[in-house]
Amino acid sequence: MGSSHCYEDITLFLSSFYGYLDTHQDDALIAMFADDGVWYRKEGPAQGKVAIREVLLARGRSRKTCHLITNIQISIGVTDTVDVSYYLTVYDNSNGLQAVAILKMADTLTTDAQGLKLLAKRSTIAIK
């Protein structure tokens, strides 16, 4: 991947991901993953677009969330991947608006003919 994608491209990609998640735009969100991409979740990993769609369907259409990204750090290596780490503050409005957790995120990105794609999305709880 080298330096073909700048900080703005990567932050727009991340913002789009959470915008799609918060507004239930499942097809757009799924398209952001590489074909063999893995979303590591507390319920277990979802690998591939079919498994990721199942995760989104289980999430429920009535759920209202807001995800805020801070402290983005980007590491562009000599391979075809970029590692991105950041904090993610998650708000949920299921039982009144509340901050649910602050997560430490670690994403691995690559590119294909359509642009940036997620190879792996990982999170750990930083504050709950």
Does the pLDDT of residue 1 top 60, yes or no? no
Q: How many CA atoms lie within 13 A of 114 on its CB side?
A: 10
Q: Among 58, 33, 55, 34, which Cα is nearest to 46's?
A: 55
**Does 78 have pLDDT greater than 50?**
yes
The whole model's pTM is what? 0.91
Tens-place pLDDT, residues 90-105: 999 877 788 889 999 9
Residue 23 corresponds to which tokens in the numbers above?
A: 């507004």
pLDDT in tens, 13-71: 999 999 999 999 999 999 999 999 999 998 999 999 999 999 999 988 888 999 999 99
Query: For the CA atoms of the chain, what is the radius of gyration?
Result: 14
Residue 77, pLDDT above cutoff 80: no
Residue 4 reports pLDDT greater than 60: no
Residue with more model confidence, 79 or 37: 37
* Domain 7-127 is found in CATH 3.40.220.10: no
The confidence score (pLDDT) of residue 5 equals: 67
Residue 79: what pLDDT? Answer: 77
Domain residue spans of the chain = 7-127
